[in-house]
A and B are shown apart, each in its own frame.
Chain A
């Protein structure tokens, strides 16, 4: 995206100040990475979650070329779908979020932890098409929405908003260390995220609670809206969500009250039309706090050992079966041997060995 910087003419200092204010948010483009990691028909609601967020984000202005949509299973064409080629997010089938203009970039078995991390870090094979890449730069605001099961990230970005709608979502953002990152999760560690919209005709739950209330909130947002992140944090309190949503802003440099929702959810182009010429005399000073961009690289190296990514990815499932303790088996064999030798006598040992 070509910054619109050069299109502006300033009349006076006021205009210069206005111009300064204009660039107070340091981002010029928006990206969204929407991931649904769960498969199978009974996880219909996770795909519906992701597609609903996809619809909202498109409505608020982010184009398909800037959205990486990863869906792990195809609900619309599942044999069990009574309305094929549709995915509904509201019961009574009011809203088909699948539609005919959805662009899924990663589908089915391509949605893996490895691919997700590769998308975020940009380490993709050279043959990967543009639609599957996250081509963000230093001035991009990125929205990452995760639903389904657990996964876990660094790439070029300006600011990052992480939304996690899974069970124990807070456990994910507790591990973040990258700067300028804000995270929201639908549940704390030890809590489960609950589903919301049962639909009897389709026979599955259509949405999760957190995303349902999140989307209700987003319906009121339009591209010129001035709602900020503090309002987003208030979405779905415990009384509605049953789980306790949490958020983390300590890594974020700006105050969350100053961050507009549309900074992440929309691709808002600030256009101010003026008929006068403005002379830019001094270089524009970003009112935002300086980001330690160069430090990013060295910091990430020092953190490499702290986050055992390989272990997290390859975590073995907990052992569920109970086996008798080894001592017990050893004791049993000792008992058998004792009885044997008592009966036969030690002098028979030489016959055995």
Chain B
């Protein structure tokens, strides 16, 4: 029976693919984007008079904080408690401990023990039903001292105002994300990641919005907004709009992804600038890790963003008083909220701070890629229906799909599926479980052991097809691989579809690399070439390319050697994120995407 691939349909599929990629790249073109606007009526315009006066005093407090931090060699809990109490807040502390599954080489920690300190400014006349959070991390060395100073300065200023309708919680968290996770879990009485923390003594009602402040210099040249949170979740666009509106009003330079907005969208360089900004956002969202302390709030449906002060080589500097005024304005507007931010978009991409692309505009790009899988699946279904089974069953005629009443048929399909998924489970569990054994036998550190075990299992999967066929009795049939491919295509389509709904960037990037191989791999394509392409487009290599592209876009290109080391650290960070905060990227890749890719690899080597 003829099953040559129809040349016409190949060109259709290629057109679909190119259309999808072109649509995606076209999203950054300014006429196709919309200007951002404030959707929430209650927040209205930026019509508020900011009067925060005490920037210098905030800096002095920051210096005091730095001195005490150095003296104590960690978080100066007593000093913070005393300072917050003197400003009229209700102060509480929370201690937490956490043992990481293996040492984190980026941040050099393994057994983490810390304390969060937070003070609650009670609303003078309102019931304690709602709260806003302002947080600053307590980092090592000379980082973020000014942030804590400004936080304390704002606390003192806010205390003297009577127009607060929500409680304001000023939080200083230790060990950045780990501390924040402990605080949030304590606040919401959940424990999803198995940390150990003391319960919170004081609470402030349901949190409506949160801002995390990172400020490491006395003067800044621009403010960077960080939106991407855990699992690629984004805060409501109104929060970004609010920030942008105030930046415009006060006259502070604002950036997103560290890139300044440009006006020349009709030139090539202008377009590429917007495309780079959007690609950075896509890559950051796809990684599924929280890119600021705010990233963990989003899971609790609290709109949060991080504001980072950047001091680069520009002439015009902004002082702390102005930053304080900007934050004051934002908090006054958030104070006017009557319900959680929900009027604007939750799913969007931003090629620049004043332009956005909503889900309705970017989803067709993914749809065009997914349709290739569905068309291929339909094609296979028709082929399976048309060609008579005639071989094993001996049943004549009839339009029947032999979903195999004959045992070799079923077994030859089920076996690859089961084995692929078991390999996926091995990839998910073994690296962490076997790190001790690996450390004993090989001269590597625990982190390296984990990462290298993962890569080893990944590569070992490549040898599977040759081995499983030795186990099976009967030979695989023509029909067998078709059915397996049909299953694999549908499985991949559902998987990528669900991923794209939750985290569009991750779904799109995986689709870009997996859809071509899923569509065109058959046992009859030239083996060596197809094998090479499959390996080059496998999820692991996609991750490698993404690392290089990300470094390029950040304007810090790396050499191959450094890129490889970065790749290894990305894998370890992914595993840690999953263990510490519940990021879903590593389980998705190990348990679902990798087995799917293995199924396709099996089809390639089908005998």
Whether A205 pairs with B47 at a CB distance below 8 angstroms is: yes
Q: Is the beta-carbon distance between A80 and B336 smaller than 8 angstroms?
A: yes
B residues near A79, Cβ cutoff 8 Å: 123-126, 163-165
Query: Which one of B47, B161, B338, B401 lies within 8 Å of A82 (CB-CB)?
Result: B161
| Cα(A328)–Cα(B36), bound, Å | 32
Is A82 a contact of B42 with CB atoms below 8 Å? no
Find B47's partner among A80, A84, A203, A342 (CB 8 Å cutoff).
A203
**Residue pair B399, A42 in contact (C-beta under 8 Å):** no
Question: Which B residues lie at the A interface, using CB under 8 A?
Answer: 41-42, 44-45, 47-49, 123-126, 161-165, 332-333, 335-336, 338, 378, 381, 385, 398-401
A344 to B398, CA, bound (A): 9
| A81 interface residue per 8 A CB criterion | yes
Q: Tell me which of B47, B162, B400 contacts A204 (CB under 8 A).
A: B47
Specify the main secondary structure of chain B where it touches its partner: loop
Q: Distance (Å) between the CB of B384 and the closest chain A CB?
A: 9
| Cβ-based interface call for A282 (8 A) | no
> If the complex has contacts A42-B41, A79-B125, A343-B381, are A203 and B336 also in contact, measured as CB distance less than 8 A?
yes
In the bound complex, residues from chain B placing their C-beta under 8 Å from that of A200 are: 47-49
Q: Is the CB of A342 within 8 A of B385?
A: yes
Complex Cα distance, B378 from A200, in Å, reads: 63
Q: Roughly how many angstroms separate A41 CA and B333 CA in the complex, as a whole number?
A: 11
Q: CB < 8 Å: which of A40, A199, A203, A339 contacts B338?
A: A40
Taking the nearest CB of chain B, how far is it from the CB of A125, in angstroms?
32
Nearest-neighbor residue (CB-CB) of B127 within chain A = A79
- Nearest B residue (CB) for A81: B163
Q: Which residue in A80, A204, A344 is a CB contact (below 8 Å) of B44?
A: A204
Residues of chain A with a CB closer than 8 A to B161's CB = 82
**Contact indicator B336/A41 (Cβ below 8 Å):** yes
* Assembled-state Cα–Cα distance A82/B126 (Å): 13
Assuming the A-B contacts A203-B48, A343-B381, are A82 and B399 also in contact, with contact meaning beta carbons closer than 8 angstroms in the complex? no
A201 CA to B50 CA in the complex, in Å?
A: 8
- In this complex, what residue of A is CB-closest to B50? A200
Verify B399–A342 contact, CB threshold 8 A.
yes
- Contact A343/B385 with A41-B42, A79-B125, A198-B47 known, Cβ cut-off 8 Å: yes
* Structural contact, A42 and B47, CB atoms closer than 8 A: no
- Smallest CB separation, A196 vs chain B (Å): 12
Assess whether A345 is interfacial by the CB under 8 Å rule. Answer: yes
- Is the beta-carbon distance between A80 and B163 smaller than 8 angstroms? yes
How far is the CB of B164 from the nearest CB of chain A, in Å?
Answer: 8
CB distance from B411 to the nearest CB of A (A): 23
Q: Is there contact, CB below 8 Å, between B162 and A343? A: no
Taking the closest CB of chain A, its distance from the CB of B425, in whole angstroms, is 34
- Do residues A42 and B336 form an inter-chain contact, with CB atoms below 8 A? yes
Q: Which of B42, B125, B164, B401 contacts A42 (CB 8 A)?
A: B42
Near B by CB (< 8 A), chain A positions 297-353 give: 339, 342-345
Contacts of B124 in A (CB 8 A): 79
Interface residues of A (CB under 8 A from B): 40-42, 78-82, 84, 198-201, 203-205, 339, 342-345
Complex A-B: 12 CB contacts under 8 Å: A42-B42, A42-B336, A79-B123, A79-B126, A80-B165, A80-B336, A199-B47, A203-B47, A205-B44, A339-B381, A344-B399, A345-B399
Measured between beta carbons, the chain A residues less than 8 angstroms from B163 are 79-82, 203
Nearest A residue to B384 via CB reads A343
**Cβ contacts under 8 Å, A343 to chain B:** 381, 385, 399, 401
Determine the chain B residues whose CB is within 8 A of the CB of A40 once the complex forms.
42, 338
Shortest Cβ distance from residue B367 to the other chain A in the assembled complex, whole angstroms: 14
Chain A residue with Cβ nearest B43: A42
Residues of B within 8 A of A80 (CB): 163, 165, 335-336
Please name the residue on chain B nearest to A341 by beta carbon.
B399
What's the least CB distance linking B241 to chain A, in Å?
16
| Residues of chain B contacted by A199 (CB below 8 angstroms) | 47
Q: How far is the CA of A42 from the CA of B333 in the complex (A)?
A: 11
Closest 8 CB pairs between A and B? Answer: A200-B49, A79-B165, A79-B126, A82-B163, A203-B48, A198-B47, A79-B125, A80-B165
Residue in A closest to B399 when the chains form the complex, CB atoms: A345
CA of A84 to CA of B162 in the docked complex: distance in angstroms? 9
The residues of A that contact B123 with a CB separation of less than 8 Å are 79
Least distance between A159 CB and chain B CB atoms (Å): 37
Contacts of A42 in B (CB 8 A): 41-42, 44, 336
Complexed CA–CA distance, A79 and B123 (Å): 8
Chain A residues with CB below 8 A from B381, complex form: 339, 343
Q: How far is the CB of B448 from chain A (nearest CB, A)?
A: 51
Chain A residues contacting B125 (CB-CB under 8 Å) are 79, 84
Question: In the complex, which residues of chain B have a beta carbon less than 8 angstroms from the beta carbon of A84?
Answer: 125, 162
Name the A residues within 8 Å of B41 (CB-CB).
42
**Do B332 and A203 touch across chains, with their CB atoms under 8 A apart?**
yes
* Residues in A neighbouring B48, C-beta threshold 8 A: 200, 203
Q: Which chain A residue shows the least CB distance to B165?
A: A79
Least Cβ–Cβ distance between A108 and chain B, in angstroms: 15
| Cα separation A201 to B385 with both chains bound (whole Å) | 74
A93 to chain B, nearest CB (A): 12
Contacts of A81 in B (CB 8 A): 163
Name the distance in Å between A339's Cβ and chain B's nearest Cβ: 8
Closest chain-A Cβ to B144's Cβ sits at a distance in Å of: 30
Q: Which residues of A contact B398 (CB under 8 A)?
A: 345
Given A78-B165, A342-B399, 15 extra CB contacts under 8 A: A40-B42, A40-B338, A42-B42, A42-B44, A79-B125, A80-B335, A82-B161, A199-B47, A200-B49, A203-B163, A203-B332, A204-B47, A205-B47, A344-B400, A345-B399
Q: Does the CB pair B49–A201 fall under 8 Å?
A: yes
A200 CA / B333 CA spacing, docked (Å):
12
Pick from A42, A78, A81, A205 the residue with the most CB of B within 10 Å: A42
Residues of A within 8 A of B45 (CB): 198
A40 to B338, CA, bound (A): 8
A96 to B165, CA, bound (A): 22
Q: How far is the CA of A82 from the CA of B165 in the complex (A)?
A: 10
Output the least CB separation between A328 and chain B (Å).
Answer: 15
Interface centre among A82, A203, A343 (most CB of B within 10 A): A203
The distance in angstroms between the C-alpha atoms of A203 and B385, with both chains bound, is 69
A201 to B45 alpha-carbon distance, docked (Å): 14
CB distance from A209 to the nearest CB of B (A): 16
- B44: chain A residues at CB < 8 Å are 42, 204-205
Min CB distance, A53 to chain B, in Å? 23
- Closest residue of chain A to B385, judged by CB? A343
Q: Which residues of A contact B333 (CB under 8 A)?
A: 203
- Which chain A residues border B164 with CB–CB below 8 Å? 79
Give the complex CA separation of A285 and B34 in angstroms: 69
Cβ contacts under 8 Å, A198 to chain B: 45, 47
A82 B162 Cβ-Cβ under 8 A: yes
What chain B residues lie within 8 Å of A203 (beta carbons)?
Answer: 47-49, 163, 332-333, 336
A85 to chain B, nearest CB (A): 11
Q: How far is the CA of A208 from the CA of B300 in the complex (A)?
A: 39
Query: Complex formed: what's the CA distance from A81 to B332 in Å?
Result: 12
Report the minimal beta-carbon distance from A129 to chain B, rounded to whole angstroms.
Answer: 30
Docked CA distance A342–B398 (Å)? 11
What residues of B have a CB within 8 angstroms of the CB of A344 in the complex?
A: 399-400
How close is B482's CB to chain A, nearest CB, in angstroms? 14
Chain B nearest CB, measured from A88 CB (Å) = 14
B204 nearest CB across to chain A (Å): 15
Min CB distance, B114 to chain A, in Å? 35
Inter-chain CA distance A170–B505, complex, in Å, is 49
User: In the complex, which residue of chain A has the Cβ closest to the Cβ of B161?
Assistant: A82
In the bound complex, CA of A95 to CA of B456 (Å): 78
> What is the distance, in angstroms, from B341's C-beta to the closest C-beta of chain A?
14
A353–B219 Cα gap in the complex (Å)?
76
* Cβ of B606 to closest chain A Cβ, rounded Å: 23
Q: Which residues of B contact A345 (CB under 8 A)?
A: 398-400
Minimum distance in angstroms from B590 CB to a CB of chain A: 33
What residue of chain A has the Cβ atom nearest to residue B47's Cβ?
A198
B493 to chain A, nearest CB (A): 15
List the A side residues contacting B47 at CB < 8 Å.
Answer: 198-200, 203-205
Rounded to whole Å, the gap between the CB of A346 and the closest CB of chain B is 10
Of A79, A199, A204, chain B has the most CB atoms within 10 Å of the CB of A79
